[in-house]
Structure 1
Amino acid sequence: MNASRRQLLAMGALLPFAGATRVYANPGHLRILVPYAPGGAADTLARALAERLSSSGGSAALVDNRPGGGTVIATQAALQAPADGQTLLLIGASFLVQPRLLVKAPYDALKDFDPVILCASNAHLLAVHPSVPVGSLRDFIAWARANTGKGAYASFGRGSSGHLGFELLKKKAGFDMLHVPYKGGAPALQALVGGEVSAMLTDLPQALPFVRSGKLKALAVGSVQRDMSLPEVPTFPEAGVLGFESESWFGLTVRRATAKEQVRELNASAASALAAPELVKSMNTIGLRVVGGEPQAFRSYLEREDARLKEALRLAQIEPE
């Protein structure tokens, strides 16, 4: 078990309700539906928010983990809950991607839900195995162009943010490389460390221990600015690929029928919780950058992200199943 994984588990154990997977019907409770199993970064974020919201003097905020179905199970549970402002859904890129991967989409991401707040994000890192003879992003692109069909890249899974981000990178940089999907970020990263694949757009926090130990080489970060944990690694535009960004992100939404006043109140409460110094510090520890902002700003972000992911799916030639 690597250091990042141990850290996540330790933080989860310290937070209330850790490891619980329950359905809360008490109308006095604020429920945060999480489409992932306990223990990951998204779950840790949700539990930190729940703790802050509960301690702010309002009703208890509780986490309800509903993993599975590529995040669709939790999303459907949110659609079936009363539109009373007491059930929130934590979302990420899969929330936008999954309806495009299914022939019969169970929801419309931009029409069935109202955004509350963009909570946090973490940059993707372009990392390569040490056996790849490159020292920069420009070197990597030149190597990939010269070795078409010889290299492969890993992803968290088909249609994941890392997969789609790499497809966009291939298009922008003009090279081709075989995609090898894995069942999650951890096995994909282990495959890269083990030399099964040459490269990966991975979540920076998980890759950091391997970069620092020399088991991986870091070439560029997908954020707008350099990451404080790897200040020597340039952004993609700095390294020569203009207009390219790639990251994982998490936000809160509610059913579209929820009253606008309730959405504003939820936004204010969540923004206050996200601004707490101890929450910011704990999120930075696991590599998440707290964002915040108004609901409309999150809506604009989702619309841009939806268009970007739609184009990435087209470039990757991923069809609904």
Structure 2
Amino acid sequence: MPVHESWRHTLNNTLTRRRLLAAASAMGLGWESLAAFAQSANAARIIVGFPPGGTADSLARVLAPLMTPPGQSMIVDNKPGASGQLAAEAVRMAAPDGNALLLTPSSILSLVPHLYKKPMFDSLGDFAAVGGVCDHSFGFAVPGTSPIKSFAEFVDWSRNNAKEATFATPGSGTAPHFLGTILGREIGAPLVHVPYKGVAPGLQDLIGGQVASTFNPLPTLLEYHKTGRIRILAVTNPSRVASLPAVPTFTELKRPALELVEWYGLFTSSKAPADAVAKLQNQLRLADGKPELTAAAKRLEVEPRPADATELRHLLEADYRRWQGIVKTTGISLDS
């Protein structure tokens, strides 16, 4: 048996401190190293369905220490893939003890299941709501070097350049994918979808001019816009964003179908004991009142949404029904 497997076996058998010390000494490890390993092995996890560096990952890394009771630990576990389904599936399959949490944008639970005949999970049955975290909207942008300066100019250009009118997204089946599809139908110029594995590679190709436009979560676009590498033409907010006072909303542009605000929520297994879920809800409530989370929201340019579990559940149910109708209308499917 490999060393790491024998070590895990030793821990799982709940040996006494003396026997653990003896085992650690035999392996050349100190008690501190053993304690750190044991803590990591038994840590609670916030699982996110995206690579490190994005909005979900950044939020999770702020929340984890704020939600951790004294003497315990909580780690961030990135499981990108399958349009965010792998993270949700990991929580569904984890031991139902409340130690596996899903931090997710709403679309993973409300939109993605409608794209498959046999989704990996039941959004309304497999997860217990812990609470809301924040809201964010989306931005529509072109390269900073593009001659297109306004949304109206993009509409004219795309109608005359059908093959070049591409839009990048973080992946097929994401909310940006649907926004781009709806935009194409709204303006009578179907845009060519170019899906990427996450936000970063699509933005790099946008900056380099390999794609003509992008829909992406607004927090991921702002820094590039401020430095002139991209140009945000419109936002899906219901009202203008304070940090982008000159950028119109789609509603102002007479495109209300493109108004969309997405929330981030925290969930655990629906099979977790009620007292474990209640404990998590209390931990999140305590984190909501801490200045570190307020500062992180400002830095990431998201709006705090300290929704309780009941409100979050209602939000999920409403969005689930809304996306069900949109998917049926667009006919988009991810089944091969």
Q: TM-score, normalised by structure 2?
A: 0.77
Report the Cα offset of residue 43 of structure 1. Answer: 1.9
Range 206-215 or range 218-227, more displaced: 206-215
> Aligned residue pairs: how many?
299
Aligned to 1:78: 91
Distance 1:80 1:259 in 2: 15
Q: How does 1:142-291 map to 2 (within 5 A)?
A: 142-247=156-261, 249-260=263-274, 262-291=276-305
Distance 2:231 2:219 in 1: 14
Task: Say if 1:137 and 1:240, in contact at 8 Å, map to a contact too.
Answer: no
1:230-258 per-residue CA deviation (whole Å, 9 max, x = no partner) reads 22212211232124323554211112223
Aligned to 1:17: none
Distance 1:65 1:184 in 2: 12
Range 127-136 or range 179-188, more displaced: 127-136
Distance 2:318 2:120 in 1: 22
Q: Which of 305, 318, 321 is the aligned partner of 2:333?
A: 318
> SS of 1:306's equivalent?
helix
Task: Say if 2:180 and 2:191, in contact at 8 Å, map to a contact too.
Answer: no
Specify whether residues 210 and 68 from structure 1 end up closer, same or farther in structure 2 by C-alpha distance, changes over 3 A only. Answer: closer
Task: Say if 2:164 and 2:212, in contact at 8 Å, map to a contact too.
Answer: no
Distance 1:155 1:50 in 2: 28
Structure 1 unaligned blocks of 5 or more: 1-19
Report the Cα offset of residue 102 of structure 1. Answer: 4.1
Report the Cα offset of residue 276 of structure 1. Answer: 1.5
Q: Which of 62, 67, 72 is the aligned partner of 1:48?
A: 62
Report the Cα offset of residue 103 of structure 1. Answer: 4.4
Aligned to 1:64: 77
Task: Say if 1:165 and 1:312, in contact at 8 Å, map to a contact too.
Answer: no
Range 203-212 or range 141-150, more displaced: 141-150
Distance 2:255 2:157 in 1: 15
1:238-291 per-residue CA deviation (whole Å, 9 max, x = no partner) reads 232124323554211112223445434422321331232222112321333321
Q: Which amino acid aligns with 2:310?
A: Q
Q: Which amino acid aligns with 1:224?
A: P
Q: What is the alpha-carbon root mean square deviation over aligned residues?
A: 3.0
> SS of 1:32's equivalent?
strand
Specify whether residues 74 and 179 from structure 1 end up closer, same or farther in structure 2 by C-alpha distance, changes over 3 A only. Answer: closer
Report the Cα offset of residue 171 of structure 1. Answer: 3.1
Distance 2:170 2:133 in 1: 22
Distance 1:232 1:33 in 2: 36
Distance 1:168 1:308 in 2: 14
Aligned to 2:102: 89
Range 143-152 or range 251-260, more displaced: 143-152
Q: Which amino acid aligns with 1:212?
A: K
Specify whether residues 180 and 63 from structure 1 end up closer, same or farther in structure 2 by C-alpha distance, changes over 3 A only. Answer: closer
Task: Say if 2:83 and 2:171, in contact at 8 Å, map to a contact too.
Answer: no
Report the Cα offset of residue 293 of structure 1. Answer: 0.8
> SS of 2:47's equivalent?
strand
Range 214-223 or range 93-102, more displaced: 93-102
Q: How does 1:291-306 map to 2 (within 5 A)?
A: 291-306=305-320
Structure 2 unaligned blocks of 5 or more: 1-35
Specify whether residues 198 and 60 from structure 1 end up closer, same or farther in structure 2 by C-alpha distance, changes over 3 A only. Answer: same
1:20-41 per-residue CA deviation (whole Å, 9 max, x = no partner) reads 9x99663xx5432233343332
Aligned to 1:10: none
Range 110-119 or range 247-256, more displaced: 247-256
Counting aligned pairs with the same residue, the percent is: 32
> SS of 2:251's equivalent?
helix
Distance 1:24 1:67 in 2: 21
Q: TM-score, normalised by structure 1?
A: 0.80
Range 297-306 or range 90-99, more displaced: 90-99
Report the Cα offset of residue 113 of structure 1. Answer: 1.1
